[in-house]
Amino acid sequence: CGMLVGTRNGRPVAARGNPDHPVNLGKLCPKGLSEHLMIEAAGRATAPMLRRGGRGTPLEPISWDEALKVMVTRIGSIQESFGNDSLGVISTGQLVTEEFYTLGKLVQLGFRSRNYDGNTTLCMASAVSGYKLSFGSDGPPGSYADMETADVVLLIGANIADNHPILCNRLRKKPGQMLIVVDPRVTKTAMMADLHLPVKPRSDIALVNGIAHILLRDGLVDREYIREHVEGLEEFVSFVADYTPEAVSATTGLTVETVEKVARLYGEAKSAFIGWTMGVNHSTQGAHTVAAINNLAMITGNIGRTGSAPFSITGQCNAMGSRETSFTSALPGYRKFDNAEDRKALADLWKIDEEELPTARGLAYPDIIEAAVKKQVKAIWIIATNPVVSFPNLNLLKQAFETTEFVVVQDGFYPTPTMDYADLVLPAAIWGEKEGTYTNSERRISKVNAFATPPGEARSDFDIFLALAERLGVKDRLFPGWSSTHDAWLEWQKVSAGRMCDYSQFTWQQIEDEGGKQWGGERLYGDGQFPRENGRALLHCVPCLPFVEQPNTEFDLILNTGRTVEHWHTRTKTGAVAMLDAMSPNAWLEMNPADADRLSLRQH
């Protein structure tokens, strides 16, 4: 969202929406309205901290010079003994794009570890993989405006009333628009829907395949689009033949009539938008669920047209920036690890030996944790994330941290639960205290300006990365002449030029003046050409698989997580804002009243 922050004597005192920004048009949710309070909140990290006496002793303030020396020396010693990949780096989706670009280069070419990933793997990796499976590349193909112009909006596992309230304002603006919500829970968004489909948990793939079955059966598909731009139809038709309305009804718990109705509504619409968030991405079949959703858009031609898209709505403010610039799921600029031409092009741009670039991605976030438990990863550097609260297997995570020889936590807040395991803490600036760009899920690049200085000795993540490069002796080679994030921006423009995520056509000033710019234009694939070898999108046959762990007589309930509009994930930041904490002070659990009665539970 676009925001305006008022300051007095150099400190923020108020925040409001920017009426000229095309994403939010002046509107803000409670988190946005309280951003100035977050900058000034208690509990900010203000000085580097070191646990001199080892685990179990307190963290003590130290100088930046000592902090950088300790970090480089300890990691260097560990890598000398156990190899470069004994370092694991876990990042975030909340740095500015220029910082992600710098960090990826520093980890791969400075520390020379392949094991770099972000907490975005726990959410957005499914969308990335699903888009690659179907279209050959990451990149949401539509725009937020398509939610306003679509005849039918189908939301799957997306409670945008709480999770994306500004986007929720875009619904219902078109007369006669039909809103369909697929969600096991009766969420606020489900209450808004014309049609709520309370499917059984983990049955959404069956529903999507069943819709495809009916569309093909009744001829509600775009045969010309399929013929010109899609492959795999024959196998797909045979596959979805088993997903009859009766079979889908048995799997999902919906009536046959409801399954038929939603398929007709989607298939008969002149324009149909499918949106999803973590209800899809967090599932055990996340990437394949995305591919199944993409199938619906492909067979109906709902790609690259106004009001039409299979659209992954991202969670973190710059998950897109991390996907485009760093070495997590691909080489910078959506280049492929295993493509020799891509590696050579990047090596030439950076004036390095091609052999320095990895030919395959390193360990993903969960695999870094498992490798630490196995004592294969010996040092972990955590940046702007709080895994002791957010990681799905906390027992495994804590075991990893207890086993790891050296843990660095770089964060804007202190203390956090993750810092209980830290040997070294680096205090970082947060947004509003640094300059750069963010890219949202409609590929819109927005500029952020610093309106406050970091507290105490805190530094921007970019400055920390450059200081580490200097200490490693690689700054002049990797970041020659760099002193600001704008230097990173200029190099990123060259690296992205001609790529799908091309930033080279925009300047910072242009982005700021025009309220953000979308790489790729308003929509991708309007010409029906996809970044696969034959230029066609690919239909995937995705079976609906049951939970690996089924409910049983001892554990007969299924837990389904959600969020509130007031807080963000681990509450590391939002929990420090008194206004937000007062609005939603406690975590809670909701249960079906029938289950509560059966278990003799009372409401509190």
Residue 566's pLDDT is 81
Contact 141, 391 (CB under 8 A): no
pTM comes to: 0.95
Q: What is the mean pLDDT of residues 330-351?
A: 97
Residue 185's pLDDT band (boundaries 50, 70, 90)?
Answer: very high
In tens, the pLDDT along 590-602 reads 898 999 999 999 8
Q: Nearest Cα to 92, choosing from 412, 318, 356? A: 318
Q: Quick check: 374 pLDDT over 80?
A: yes
Contact 36, 15 (CB under 8 A): yes
443 in a structural domain: yes
In tens, the pLDDT along 131-143 reads 999 999 999 999 9
Residue 234's pLDDT is 98
* Coil, helix or strand at residue 112: coil
In tens, the pLDDT along 220-244 reads 999 999 999 999 999 999 999 999 9
In tens, the pLDDT along 42-61 reads 899 999 999 999 899 999 99
Is residue 470 domain-shared with residue 427, that is, in the same domain?
yes
Contact 131, 139 (CB under 8 A): yes
Is residue 388 domain-shared with residue 360, that is, in the same domain?
yes
- pLDDT: which is higher, 301 or 565: 301
Block residue for tokens 């369909």: 180
Is residue 442 domain-shared with residue 367, that is, in the same domain?
yes
Q: Nearest Cα to 522, choosing from 270, 271, 306, 293? A: 306
Which of the residue ranges 299-308, 322-331, 426-435, 480-489 would you say has the lowest mean pLDDT? Answer: 322-331
Is residue 148 domain-shared with residue 289, that is, in the same domain?
yes
Is residue 397 domain-shared with residue 289, that is, in the same domain?
no
Residue 575's pLDDT is 76
Q: Quick check: 571 pLDDT over 80?
A: no
Contact 292, 242 (CB under 8 A): no
Question: How far separated are the first and last CA of the chain, in Å rounded?
Answer: 36
Tokens of 476: 């002049």
Is residue 274 domain-shared with residue 305, that is, in the same domain?
yes
Q: What is the mean pLDDT of residues 364-382?
A: 98
Q: Quick check: 22 pLDDT over 80?
A: yes
The pLDDT mean for the chain works out to 95
250 in a structural domain: yes
How many CA atoms lie within 13 Å of 124's alpha carbon, on the beta-carbon side?
Answer: 27
- Greatest Cα pair distance, the chain, in angstroms, is 72
Is residue 215 domain-shared with residue 252, that is, in the same domain?
yes
Contact 504, 496 (CB under 8 A): yes
Residue 579's pLDDT is 84
243 in a structural domain: yes
- The CATH number of residue 386's host domain is 3.40.50.740
User: How far is Cα 499 from Cα 446, in angstroms, rounded to an integer?
Assistant: 19
- The number of folded domains in the chain is 2
Is residue 240 domain-shared with residue 154, that is, in the same domain?
yes
Q: Quick check: 202 pLDDT over 80?
A: yes
510 in a structural domain: no
- The Cβ of residue 219 has, within 10 Å, a number of other Cβ atoms equal to 8
Contact 225, 273 (CB under 8 A): no
User: How far is Cα 383 from Cα 90, in angstroms, rounded to an integer?
Assistant: 6
604 in a structural domain: no
In tens, the pLDDT along 28-43 reads 988 888 989 888 888 9
Is residue 309 domain-shared with residue 325, that is, in the same domain?
no
Is residue 464 domain-shared with residue 371, that is, in the same domain?
yes
Q: Which domain holds residue 367?
A: 44-119+318-504
- The CATH number of residue 197's host domain is 3.40.228.10
Helix residue ranges, H only, 27-112? 30-33, 35-39, 64-82, 97-105
- Among the three residues 538, 554, 583, which one is the final residue of a domain in this structure? 538
In tens, the pLDDT along 131-183 reads 999 999 999 999 999 999 999 999 999 999 999 999 999 898 889 999 999 99
Residue 350's pLDDT is 98
Is residue 248 domain-shared with residue 114, that is, in the same domain?
no
Q: Quick check: 568 pLDDT over 90?
A: no
User: How far is Cα 121 from Cα 104, in angstroms, rounded to an integer?
Assistant: 15
